[in-house]
Amino acid sequence: MHEPIARAFLEWFALHRTDYPFRKNRDPYKVWVSEVALQQTRIQAALEQLEIFLQRFPDLSSLATATEKEVLFFFQGLGYYNRARNLRLGAQHIVRHFQGKLPEDYASLLTIPSIGPYTAAAIASIAYGVAIPAIDGNVKRVIARLLALVEAVSEKGFSVKISSFLQGLFERSGDNPGNLNEAIMELGQKICTPRSPLCAICPISFACAAKAQNHPEQYPVRSLARPKMEEVHCYLIIQKRGDQVFLHSWQNFRFLRRHHGYPALLYHPETEQWESSWQNLPPKHLLQEMVKASAFSFSHAITRYRIKVFLCKTCSLPEINGLWFAQEDLIPSFLRKAWMASR
């Protein structure tokens, strides 16, 4: 599947790419400055200013020897001034450590102050033809939709899956990995936009899982919805015989089902419903007596349940099948806590 997708990106890019002035020249220094200056800015609005910046600082040494004040002045309209400061510091580092030439390999590029993974990959692929993906927000959105990734953006699995898919794609990018990077980014800007993606004219729609589901805008998943916590009151009947306690298999509850536990009643305050851990619910007056005879002991959370535990040491044992367990056999921790609290 990687091969036809890589081909579709490249063919679309060959026909529809915008001929930005900075694309005419693949000089590594100019690729670097353009990538930094155009990050998170409206490209069209920033093009003229980028041209002026590159006229004043046409090469690395001119940037490295300029004063900070001058660099900041010419960076106006190109985004945060910190980027301009870092560009100048990066240029000075390259003059000192790389004989004034941006290194070709990704790992060396990453050693330059201010060059992060995205910029290093963009320079390596666009200027030097290294097959490495440059992953920005546009790329993440396109690939997350293409694969209908269920992992949220913040999850490690999201980045791992995006990188691994792109790696496969770049192995099939032929001799122009820079074009593939720019193709995916530009498709994200023009076709696979955050809202209302233009799937009908998208060149990779034939392989797009999000389109097949008819819900492209659901991707990428921003955060996994946390299940709502539900409060329950749990009344445990603690019966002891020497150092043994009476337990039976909880069949009815939605948590700890089939675990052995003390005979128990559950109350759901939201729905005002009662449940018992054995077959039948006791009559209402017995329930009320039991509640009266119980005392709040501790709170505990199991999966999505926040449980307030009440202990009853004087309630009579219902007629149910169960077993006497030694206290050290008590599992899970919820039951051990109840045992400790009942001593």
Catalytic residues: 35
Question: Between residues 192 and 247, which has the closer beta carbon with respect to ligand SF4?
Answer: 192
Between 211 and 248, whose beta carbon lies closer to ligand SF4?
211
Q: Does 138 interact with ligand SF4 (rule: CB under 6 A)?
A: no
What residues numbered 189-208 form the site for ligand SF4, per CB under 6 A?
Answer: 191-192, 197-199, 202, 204-205, 208
- CA terminus-to-terminus distance, the chain: 65
Helices (H), ranges, 98-229: 106-110, 117-128, 137-147, 156-170, 177-190, 209-212
**For residues 53 and 340, what is the distance between their CA atoms, to the nearest angstrom?**
73
Yes or no: say if 65 and 73 are a contact pair by the CB < 8 Å rule: no
* Cα dist from 143 to 50, 126, 150, 165, whole Å: 29, 20, 12, 8
Q: Which stretch binds ligand SF4 (CB under 6 A): 40-48, 138-146, 295-303, 308-316?
A: 138-146
For ligand SF4, give the closer residue by CB, 149 or 307. 149
Establish if 183 lies at the interface with ligand SF4 (CB under 6 A). no
Closest to ligand SF4 by CB, 96 vs 215, is 215
Interface with ligand SF4 (CB under 6 A), residue total: 15
Residue 30 structure tokens: 């100019």
Establish if 248 lies at the interface with ligand SF4 (CB under 6 A).
no
Smallest separation, CB 138 to ligand SF4 (Å): 11
Using rule CB under 6 A, residue 145 touches ligand SF4: yes
DSSP tally for the chain: helices H, then strands E: 14, 9
In the sheet that 305-312 helps form, which strands lie side by side, from edge to edge?
Answer: 273-276, 264-268, 230-237, 305-312, 295-302
Among candidate residues 44, 36, 42, the one with its CA nearest the CA of residue 88: 36
> Min. distance of Cβ 146 from ligand SF4 in angstroms?
5
Give the SS3 label for residue 170. helix
The size of the chain, in residues, is 343
Structure tokens at 329: 């056999």
Q: How far is the CB of 197 from ligand SF4 (least distance, A)?
A: 4
216 binds ligand SF4 (CB under 6 A): yes
The minimum distance between CB 306 and ligand SF4, in angstroms, equals 39
Among 142, 256, 264, 335, binds ligand SF4 (CB under 6 A): 142
Residues within window 146-165 making contact with ligand SF4, judged by CB under 6 A: 146
Binding site for ligand SF4 (CB under 6 A): 142, 145-146, 191-192, 197-199, 202, 204-205, 208, 210-211, 216
